[in-house]
Homo-oligomer: A and B are copies of this chain.
Amino acid sequence: MARGINKVILVGNLGNDPETKYTQSGMAVTRISLATTSVRKDREGNTQERTEWHRVVFFGKLGEIVAEYLRKGSQVYVEGEIRYDKYTGQDGQERYSTDIVANEMQMLGGRGGGEGGGERPQRSAAPRREYGGGGQQRNAPAQSPQPAAEGGFNDSFGDDDIPF
């Protein structure tokens, strides 16, 4: 029963390799620093460039995938939500941090990115979701404005099962 939408969509490049730690229960928690640069013209007509560095955190399976496939320089699509935290530093001072808690990730560009591991294939990841739930299979070819069409997709329920 959420009240509100808190959604972030980022496309950017990693400033460093991902850093992964594990919780006591063994869950991966991977962090990346993601740059997004935007450009605008100021009132004098000069080009102004500004880069934001996002702290993005991936939990669980997603964290493992990020750790394995992303590297410094990798370009990535991330979807998640903003989380603001307050904590007390070692000096007793209150500090604030802002993180993007990712729930979807997609590698871009077809190459892993920077240096090593570049041979990784492009892939994406998100929490599994089951579609449909009905009976037999249907073959509903995708609409393709192009000659060659895509193969059928399975709605997981047969034609007779479709109520519309």
**Which residues of A approach B to under 8 Å, CB–CB?**
1-13, 15-16, 21-29, 31, 33, 35-46, 48-55, 57, 59-62, 64, 75, 77, 79-87, 93-98, 101-104, 106, 108-111, 122-158, 160-164
| Total copies of the chain | 4
**Are A101's CB and B152's CB within 8 A?**
yes
- Bound CA span A49–B122, Å: 16
Set B11, B27, B98, B152: member contacting A81, Cβ < 8 A: B152
Given A23-B135, A59-B133, A108-B109, A38–B2 Cβ distance below 8 Å? yes
**Are A4's CB and B86's CB within 8 A?**
no
Set B35, B49, B84, B93: member contacting A53, Cβ < 8 A: B84
Complex: chain B residue closest to A72, CB-CB: B145
